Amino acid sequence: MAEHFTQQRCQDCQGGLVYNKKEKYWECPYCGKIYERELRFNKVQIDGLAGINDLVRSTLSRVASLDFQGAERDLLECEKINHSFVGTLIASIAVSLIKSFFSKDRQQELSKVNLLRQRLAREFEEIENEEHILYDFLDSADLLGILAVVYGSIGARDRLACIYNILDIEDVYNPNVVKFLLGVVLRDGRVEDADILLGKITTDAVRFGISTVLNSYPDSPKKSEHIDALLSKGNPDTDYSKLFDTYFQGTTDQSCVVDVFLTAVSHKVGFNTAPVISKVCSSCTDVEKARRVFGALASKRLDEATAKVILDWCILECEDPEISEVGFKALFSSNSIFEITCETVLPLLKSAQDDDVKLAKCKQMLSNFKISGKNIDRLLAYCLLENPGEYEYRRDLLEVLLTRVESVQLAVVERYVLAYTADGEYKDEFVTMLLGKATHVSLYSDLFSKYLVTRIDPAKTREKIISIFLGFKLNPDPKSFSAYLCNFSEIHSKEVLTKFNAVGARALPTTFDQYLSALSDPSKYNTFVAELATKGSFSIGGNNLVKYIMRVTEPSSGKAINAPRYLAACRDDLKTATFNVNVAGIAVTGTLGHVYLLAGPDDAFVTQETLKAMKNIRMRLDLPVELPAERKKLKIQKFVELYKDKLPAKVSQVANDFKW
């Protein structure tokens, strides 16, 4: 047997050899000796080896050409020469594996491949000299490529590494090998090799190439470049839509989705558009990408389903209002979405997005699309009565909606004013905005009247809202106004009561009487309320008049002015009525004038003026007072004289000066 190399080692130093693909020779990295492949084959003189290698080569060549009948004939000859030869086993695996790609009984072929794989691993665990000689003998990138496909498919990693070491991808030209090898190199992450193979894809294999790139090529800008090249090479009448549908619905790519989509659009590839658009939209992570995607879409009118997908994505999924605005404008410019409804906007307002995002999108939608007044009214109703959120968001949203209407439906305003409390201390601001949109403010007079008797807001908020109604010159009905005046939980500020007076508010004739009846604490007596309650005709019951005379004090000389009016308005005859009072420990019975003099709350001047008013209505002040304990009657002057040391000084002063 002649000299030969053992497992690719240097003859001089026994170092492992390295194959130079470009120059096609083996080199020892330790001593530098070069071994040319052609010379090496001349030195191989193993009996029958050259002949069987030729048959293996012929078998693999026929496999590459998909001539399975010819390949099986050659394989049979190999087995006749040497069934146990490693090349025969490798050729057998190759035939069954590649045949399985096209066989109807694929599983049978794969089962055979599995058995052969196990035998290869068992009988030829290491790559021996004969196998290396076989690889050198093949001397064809297409045939080595077939072996790479075989080893990559059966998981023979050491053998695959050996083939990669000697395979020059540039020299692979067989279109079948190109197809088979493309998936193998991509699985191994050999992207540069894949780039070379993709450039060799033939026109009839474009569909396969596109599918492989879409589903196996890594996420990078080159992905769309390859798609562009393949689509340019393919038949323009071929429908590739299903390939892209599958890709967009299942891809985990992030950076290249938009570019792949735009490339496909530029080649007029049709899609199952709605699912594709949903995926592409979610990849619009910046404004520039969004402009490119939506700009391409806006070049033609979109079908209803596609337009809805974009609209829904912009409304509910897009987190950046700048991007959503690009989408809204594209839909409008393409005439795909021209008008929106309340049902379009409500999902946005009900979503869990940040308030500022919802507000921005709502503005965009209202500025880019048409919406009917009826739908705006419904949005206003939702905004006022159901829309949760912070005060600023609700206020700003209401302001946006109000710019689209001339007025708000009265029923909506009524429900808000009379029943809604969530805005708390800010409710008056909303009422101001709503009334500011009223075309006929007088229509709100009835609402004002209802509000005066519907006490759902805190006192300060009510005071503000009442002041707003009055600022619009609204006048409540007398019954409601009377109820307001008689309610001591109201603030009844001078400013608001002055506004009531300015609009000419009128109370019921019985209002002052009811007010005095409800007055449990004389210190809470409000002279401005009394003034409005007695502005027109009025009457007072005797008991309430006595309460006023005996318990109420008014600033300055207010009672001196008002007492005569109130006395004249009394419904009951108090001219001779008597009352009991205890003065300085003395029980006294006398007329209203007597007990007022002795126990009234006012100073000498007011007391005297009030007594004059009583005398003017012919109240009997000349009757004697009675002292029940002493069983005697005395003129009032005599009584004061007897007990002046026990009585306040003002009592003696008035008793002496007044003409009884």
Q: How confident is the model at residue 424 (pLDDT cuts 50, 70, 90)?
A: very high
Residue labelled with tokens 């693909």: 21
Nearest to 19 by CA among 163, 129, 158: 163
Name which of 41-50, 283-292, 507-516 the model is least confident about: 41-50
Nearest to 16 by CA among 120, 209, 165, 157: 165
pTM of this prediction exceeds 0.85: no
| Mean pLDDT value across residues 580-593 | 94
pLDDT of residue 478: 97
pLDDT of residue 162: 95
* Average pLDDT in the chain: 91
**Better-predicted residue by pLDDT, 280 or 651:** 651
pLDDT of residue 303: 81
Residue 640 lies in a domain: yes
Give the tens place of pLDDT for each residue, 541-567: 999 999 999 999 999 889 999 999 999
CA distance 386 to 543: 50
| Mean pLDDT value across residues 199-218 | 95
pLDDT of residue 42: 36
Cβ proximity of 470 and 500 under 8 Å: yes
Amino acid at 398: L
Residue 1 has pLDDT above 60, yes or no: no
pLDDT of residue 2: 29
pLDDT of residue 43: 35
What DSSP element (H or E) covers 625?
strand 625-627
Give the tens place of pLDDT for each residue, 607-635: 999 999 999 999 999 999 999 998 999 99
Give the tens place of pLDDT for each residue, 98-147: 999 998 889 999 999 999 999 999 999 999 999 999 999 998 999 999 99
- Strand, coil or helix: 454: coil
pLDDT of residue 470: 96
The per-residue b/e assignment along 198-231, b for 16 or more CB within 10 angstroms, e otherwise, is bebbeeebbbbbbbbbbeebeeeebbbbbbbbbb
Q: And the tokens for 253?
A: 């790519």
pLDDT of residue 22: 63
Q: And the tokens for 369?
A: 């699309």
- Strand, coil or helix: 68: helix
DSSP state, residue 203: G
Residue 589 has pLDDT above 50, yes or no: yes
Residue 583 lies in a domain: yes
CA distance 42 to 129: 15
Cβ proximity of 486 and 453 under 8 Å: no
Give the tens place of pLDDT for each residue, 30-87: 777 776 654 343 333 334 455 899 999 999 999 999 999 999 999 999 999 999 999 9
Distance of CA 75 to the CA centre of its chain: 67
| Mean pLDDT value across residues 373-391 | 93
Other Cβ atoms less than 10 A from the Cβ of 411: the count is 10
Nearest to 463 by CA among 435, 491, 433, 495: 491
- Domain tally for the chain? 1
pLDDT of residue 85: 95
Give the tens place of pLDDT for each residue, 213-238: 999 999 999 999 999 999 999 998 89
Cα angle: 122, vertex 125, 126; to 5 degrees: 160
Q: What percent of the chain has pLDDT over 90?
A: 78
Q: How confident is the model at residue 198 (pLDDT cuts 50, 70, 90)?
A: very high
Residue 23 has pLDDT above 80, yes or no: no
Nearest to 365 by CA among 383, 348, 390: 348
Please list the residues that pair with 36 across neighbouring strands: 25
The interaxial angle of helices 241-250 and 257-266, nearest 10 deg, is 160
Question: What is the span of the domain harbouring residue 617?
Answer: 574-657
Residue 635 lies in a domain: yes
Residue 11 lies in a domain: no
pLDDT of residue 32: 72
Residue 239 lies in a domain: no
pLDDT of residue 190: 96
Q: And the tokens for 605?
A: 């001047």
pLDDT of residue 442: 87
